[in-house]
Structure 1
Amino acid sequence: MALRQPLTQLSKRTLPSQFFRSTSIPAIHQHRSNLASISTPPVVNNGTNGKGTAIVFMNMGGPSTTADVGNFLSRLFADGDLIPLGRLQNYIGPLISRRRTPKIIKQYAAIGGGSPIRKWSELQSSEMCKLLDSISPSTAPHRPYVAFRYADPLTEEMYTKLLADGFGGGNGGRAVAFTQYPQYSCSTTGSSLNELWRWRGRLEGKGDVEGAIKWSVIDRWPTHPGLVEAFARNIEAKLQEYPPETRNNVVLLYSAHSLPMSVVNRGDPYPAEVAATVHAVNTRLGFKNPYRLVWQSQVGPSAWLGAQTSDTVENYIKKGQTDLVLIPIAFTSDHIETLYELDQEVIGETGLDSIKRVESLNGSEVFIKALADIAKTHLEENVACSQQMGLRCPGCVSEKCVESKKFFASQQKELTA
């Protein structure tokens, strides 16, 4: 809330699932990990001016406490890239956010008082950087940062911290914007990149600026073998909770955050890229189970991409199909859409033990190893962004999108200078 060919330069390298089984990484539980104990080769800073490489995890974010919900929703509904409300965005957005705030506060209270997405993002980024120091010493040390679109730490806060840490501001340095939406959408990754471009202009200047941060972007990774393997293992673990005689008849419901049909119809690549992830995971699983791709989290009365997850579960129950497994296929960690919408609303309201949810990726060692491999490959290839990112949606009319894409593509000459 990404088809492998020819989506990204990362696509050129395909790793078998055995790669993610052959080298063990100590298990990660909550905030504790032994990854730091991995022996690392000597650090050689090649083109990083001694500072290393900043790896910036970009995501939507979520309110860490119920007191943060109002500001979170205000920012969310003000973003026309995510929820396009037209010329009345500045009026309708605040109105919707104020009306929804009391309800959403109750939902966050029900999952413990706030979103865990910051905790998981900081854990994933820090553990990935430790591993990346080991497998990519020439670009080490790798320094983790998190930039959320609608919650702290916001993009502005992250960029200010980069400058304080000696990146940019006349000092140069290398940073990678690493989207944590595996599948690209203009409303998610596109919005985060637009925001990053905006703050770069405000804090370092527009165009070619001597000594500014050299940016590159990992803009999608929908069928990376490690991502696929991490999903597949969690699905297999959940299926073991069903009796052997019925296990292969359990319906897999891959659930992704929906999009307004206005976004889909202008040519947004997200639906196809989510479908690519689903196909890759099912290929790894051997297509043993029937499955469907469904969509959740619709907001407002306008038309959204369906079928809706909640309607699908209800309709299958009516048809007598009650062995269902929900898989959050477009999320890389738990947040309100998994812990409340899926667990408490969609599943909880059925009262059926036979309807379950697959564990989110969270601290999966396979997933963190995948993140490190994606970043290593990106740094080795030394490309500013994928070729696919430069292609605008057929129906795009956003000048902000034009300028943002132009900026990140222009970083190629900075990387190869």
Structure 2
Amino acid sequence: MNVLLMAYGTPYAPEEVEPYYTDIRRGRRPSEELLKELSERYEAIGKSPLNEITLAQAVRLQALLNLEAPPYPKRLLGPFPPRAPHGPARVYVGTKHWHPSIGEAVAAMHEDGVRRAVAIVAAPHYSLRSVAEYREKVDSALKALPEPIDFVWVESYEAHPGLIAAYARRLEEVIWRLKNPGKAAYVFTAHSIPLSAVEKGDPYPRQVEKTAELIAKRLALPRFYVAYQSAGRTPEPWLGPDINELLRTLREEGYEEVAVQAVGFPADHLEVFYDLDLEAQASARELGLRLLRARSLNADLDYIQVLRDLVEAAWPR
């Protein structure tokens, strides 16, 4: 079994911010103002751990896919997943906007003799501006190959029971820290997308709302809200409400505590550390709100088990 695990990617060093941002902008160099703003954001958080987390996810996913149940009674050692009938597994990493790029990963797979693989993005929700663009990059890389690779895609997994349980587990940790959980507001966030994509029928907001609903139901939350963050710097309108705007509304409604969970971001990176831990936290302090954020899934075992389930279910029998 072969897997292409994809993530957004992030620069490793300050001098890489400009080419990284240029790639995000499809080859158009950012203005000095935009470049300065993004560079300052990276300086503010220190360093994004996204690349390291993605590599750790790949290593652990490969190990879990290759795990063989030991010949001992389950009653002694607990439940072990049986080895799936797919042979040895190898997981390749490709990032959307940095290195190793998706094109580099696909080329490496072909060089290794891979002719069939599962493609999965480390993001639970499908969007024309996310998973669809990853697919475009894979298709573009395939055109450069002398022989094709047959990719089976996992395009979304917003309602996977393991994903919902993992998110709920982390939000429950925050609930224990609230002064009055019954009177707190619960906010689930995801990356904003242009409204033009939503108007074209993009299922993204419905999938984000579904994830939020299932977590809220599992924890019997008294109330919850969905907000968006990290909108692009373009003149077109983006999907809202923005998390900072929602915080203002919640304070006006009398809330004093807010629990936030970034369900659109499995891993810690710039949008989590800067947009939530710094910017949204600053907004909350200014408003007199106590804001607590649930920790991310990262490369924790419960999330890797979700990825394993999805990959094994997608692999052709």
TM (normalized to structure 1)? 0.69
Deviation, structure 1 residue 355 = 0.7
1:55 counterpart letter in structure 2: V
Tell me the SS of whatever aligns to 1:279: helix
State the shift of 1:271 in Å: 0.8
1:287-340 CA deviation, whole Å, 9 max, x = no partner?
x23110011111223211111111111232233312001110111100111111
Structure 2 match to 1:199: 141
Separation of aligned partners in 1, 2:138 and 2:291: 40
1:141 paired to 2:88 = yes
Q: Distance in 2 between matches of 1:133 and 1:193?
A: 26
Q: CA RMSD in A?
A: 1.8
Whole-Å separation in 2 of the counterparts to 1:311 and 1:323:
15
* Aligned counterpart in structure 2 of residue 223 of structure 1, from 147, 159, 163: 159
Counterpart selection for 1:339 from 257, 273, 282: 273
Aligned to 2:170: 234
| 2:29 aligned partner | 94
Residue number in structure 2 paired with 1:289:
222
| Residue 129 in structure 1 maps to residue 62 in structure 2 | yes
- Number of matched pairs: 300
Amino acid at match of 1:304: W
Look up the match of 1:266.
200
2:100 paired residue number:
153
Native 8 Å contact 1:184 1:219 kept in 2: yes
Are 1:372 and 2:314 matched, yes or no? no
Q: 1:189 aligns with which of 92, 107, 131?
A: 131
Give the 3-state SS of the residue equivalent to 2:144 in structure 1. Answer: helix
Letter in 2 for 1:199: A
- Counterpart CA distance in 2 for 1:248 and 1:363 is 31
- Distance in 2 between residues matched to 1:306 and 1:282, nearest whole Å: 20
State yes or no: 1:357 paired with 2:293.
Answer: yes
Q: How far off its partner does 1:109 sit?
A: 1.5
Task: Structure 2: state its 5+ residue gaps.
Answer: 68-81
Structure-1 separation of matches of 2:33 and 2:104: 28
- Alignment partner of 1:69 out of 3, 14, 17: 17
1:353 Cα deviation from its structure 2 partner = 7.3
1:315-326 correspondence runs (5 A): 315-326=249-260
Once the two structures are TM-superposed, the CA of residue 185 in structure 1 deviates from its matched residue by: 0.5
Tell me the CA shift for residue 163 of structure 1. Answer: 2.8
Could you tell me how far 1:95 is from its partner in structure 2? 4.3
Structure 1: state its 5+ residue gaps: 1-52, 79-89, 168-172, 383-417
Q: Conserved in 2, the CA contact under 8 Å of 1:183 and 1:221?
A: yes
Identity %: 25
| AA at the equivalent of 1:94 | R
Judged with a 3 Å threshold, the aligned counterparts in structure 2 of structure 1 residues 270 and 247 are, in CA distance, closer, same or farther, namely: same
Instruction: After superposition, give the CA deviation of every residue in 1:248-270 in whole Å (9 maximum; x if it has no partner).
Output: 22111101111111111111111
Report if the CA contact (8 A) 1:252-1:292 is conserved: yes
For residues 71-126 of structure 1, give each alpha carbon's deviation from its aligned partner in whole angstroms, at most 9, with x where no partner exists.
11111122xxxxxxxxxxx7xx4345x431111111112212x3211111111121
Give the distance between the partners of 1:369 and 1:297, measured in 2 at CA: 28
Work out whether residues 222 and 274 of structure 1, in 8 Å CA contact, stay in contact via their aligned partners in 2: yes
Kindly indicate whether the alpha-carbon contact (under 8 Å) linking 2:194 and 2:236 is maintained by their aligned counterparts in 1: yes
**1:142-190 superposed Cα distances (whole Å, 9 cap, x missing partner):** 11111111111111211222133232xxxxx321111222110111100
Instruction: Identify if the C-alpha distance between structure 1 residues 58 and 363 changes in structure 2 by more than 3 Å, giving closer, same or farther.
Output: closer
